[in-house]
A and B are shown apart, each in its own frame.
Chain A
Amino acid sequence: MSQGVLVWVEQFKGKPQAASWEALGQARTLAGGGPVTAAVFGQGVETVAQEAIRRGADRVLVADDATLADYRFEPFVALLAQIVREHQPAIVLAAATIAGREVLAGAAAEIGAGLLTDVTDLSLEGGKLQAVRPVLGGKVLSVEAITGDGPQFATLRPRAFPAPEPDPSRSGEIVAVAPVLAEDAIASKVEAMQEVTGTISLTDATIIVSGGRGVGGPEGFDPVRELAEALGGAVGASRAAVDAGWIPYEHQVGQTGKVVSPDLYIAAGISGAIQHQAGMRTAKVIVAINKDPEAPIFKLARYGIVGDLFEVLPALTAEVRKRLG
């Protein structure tokens, strides 16, 4: 008899992926009174397991092993599939990060389970998961449901669901599990990892400052970066700025870049093409700074400043610094 909800909690070098807690919070809601189990794979991940309990897990399955130190598809998929077969949870959730999408899709394929990817709303209708997903470049919403029997899989778009606050009084059980694949059975080897240092990842950021064609060149991103830094936010960009070679692709927000949902999105010198909107329209508050009062971005924005971003951005940076003391 299948029961309870299993959440794959992602971590990188012992640091939990914040969006995993959002999935854990949703698991608590969907489980009703049933058990919520977290699964943590990595090396040296004891503190992640403990935090999973404080965030709502009743039990944490921990696979702590050198073969799991870096994310790789084969060992992670094989282990999650084995855990699902053994524990038969009713529902399996994860954050819809790159690894989360891969691991759940791979395990669902192995088990023959239905999977709903990158959902922004999730409910149970007659015991089956029903989800809302933005499709067609974020222009419409699709309502989809699991129809098959057995464990039901879903990945949750980061920042679409609230994260539960840690509760230090919660207790739970930590259970060690062994990896499925030995190193010599894994075809891929991680040779290097060039970490993003000193910057906040777009997916996690609560504040994003983005620049577009209006910044005019690579040095035009300096005032964008300074404001982002003053606000403790991340730097984004439109496709036009990336295609012009002014800033690397990993900063691109939009249909062919990243989809983000920060609390605050400041678009500077971005006209707001539909493809850009697809990446940022779920931001809580959008601010548009543009010389052209007719720019489509103003239709989406909550606040607008019509003006030169090279005057407005430094003024905002100065104001933020002044208020922070």
Chain B
Amino acid sequence: MHVVVVTKNTPDTAATVTVKGDGTIDWGDSLVVNPWDEYAITEAVLLKEAHSGKATVLTVGTDEHQEALKHGLAIGCDQAIRVWDGALDGCDSLGYAEAVAAAIRKLGDVDLVIFGRELADIATDQHVYQVARKLGWTMLGYVAKIQALDVAARSITVNRLTEYGTQTVRSTLPAVISVVKDINEPKYPTFIGIRKAAKAEIPVWSAADLGLDAAALQPRTQQLRYQELPKREGTVEIIEGATAQEKAAKLIDRLIEEKVL
């Protein structure tokens, strides 16, 4: 069985971010593995161990994303591949999905592709579903548990978390899944894992290696600028009172005045 996990680095979400006068952001240099991908990478390693298979960690991006690949290797992925080419600079989710799908086709024997639920920086998941569509594979999003995976029978059964409840779906392989944090406890790299990852040679595949057509990488969307969040109006009013009952009554009065009750 061959499982591929797709990841990238994102700015640390705990870092303070300020928008500059020209509408750009100083992203800082504290890049971390996209938080959702820690679950995805762990799941890829757990599955390859359980099924005596192979796990590949893949990224599409500049060498800024090398650390995400090393993290994947350090916790047990067998190989890492980075896809990058000047032609991908400025591409949007469609071009990104085109490149990921092409890399998966080039790997050839892939049974399962795993993504984290979304990218924490640009706050989107559209590329995940677009990879599935470009591959023509089924998409099982928001997976909280893999109930069964039978590689010989080409079958996977998962629990998906939806707004309406937990959906249990069975599908044929190959498939694309995205995972939420219920799926596992993320693995952390061991000292030996980190040493091994540091020494790994990570191949870089170009647009030409993947046979990517420049027209397919043309962006259809553009990021124009960033803005600060509107400030929340006013400051907090602390409800005072001698007893909890008195405070409760005053608060309910305020909420009725605000028309939220």
Contacts and interface: CB of A to CB of B under 8 A. Distances in A.
Given A146-B221, A303-B237, A307-B244, A77 B133 contact: yes
Given A192-B168, A249-B144, A312-B244, A301 B123 contact: no
A256 B181 contact: yes
Contacts of B199: none
Interface stretch (A52-60, A168-176, A281-289): A281-289
Contact of A140 (B17, B222, B248): B17
B251 A303 contact: yes
A2 to B, nearest CB: 15
Contacts of A271: none
Contact of B94 (A74, A112, A288): A112
A316 B232 contact: no
B35 interface: yes
Interface string B238-261: 110001110111011011001011
A162 to B, nearest CB: 15
Interface of B, secondary structure class, is: mixed
Contacts of B167: 70-71, 190, 192-193
B17 A136 contact: yes
Interface in B80-95: 92-94
Contact of B248 (A130, A133, A141, A312): A312
B261 A264 contact: yes
B221 A196 contact: no
Interface in B211-247: 218-229, 232, 234, 236-239, 243-245, 247
Nearest to A134: B123
Interface residues of B, number: 82
B223 A142 contact: yes
- Chain A interface secondary structure, helix, strand, loop or mixed? mixed
B220 A148 contact: yes
Contacts of B11: 136
Nearest to A282: B229
Interface stretch (B56-64, B70-78, B102-110, B155-163): B155-163
A193 B223 contact: no
Interface residues of A, number: 96
A137 B120 CA distance: 6
B9 interface: no
Contacts of A311: 244
Interface in A126-155: 130, 132-148
Nearest to A103: B129
B245 A319 contact: yes
Given A99-B162, A189-B169, A304 B238 contact: yes
A117 B14 contact: no
B19 interface: yes
A142 B226 CA distance: 4
Interface string B151-185: 00000010001111111111110010000111000
Contacts of B252: 316, 319-320, 323
B202 interface: no
B221 A116 contact: yes
A300 B232 contact: yes
Given A112-B220, A115-B126, A191-B170, A143 B225 contact: yes
Interface string A201-220: 10110110000000000000
Contacts of B123: 117-118, 133-138
B5 interface: no
Interface string B31-61: 0000110000000000000000000000000
A117 B125 contact: yes
A284 B260 contact: yes
A137 B225 CA distance: 17
A244 interface: no
A229 interface: no
B88 to A, nearest CB: 17
B175 A307 contact: no
Shortest 10 CB-CB contacts between residues of A and residues of B: A148-B220, A114-B220, A315-B248, A109-B130, A105-B129, A195-B165, A105-B126, A73-B139, A188-B171, A315-B244
Given A305-B239, A305-B251, 12 more contacts: A106-B132, A106-B133, A118-B123, A143-B223, A191-B168, A194-B168, A201-B164, A249-B182, A256-B35, A264-B255, A304-B239, A312-B248
7 contacts: A106-B129, A114-B94, A130-B224, A207-B261, A249-B180, A285-B258, A302-B232
Interface of A: 12, 17, 70-74, 77, 97-99, 101-102, 104-106, 108-110, 112-118, 130, 132-148, 187-197, 201, 203-204, 206-207, 231, 249-250, 255-256, 263-264, 274-275, 278, 281, 284-285, 287-288, 293, 298-308, 311-312, 314-316, 318-320, 323
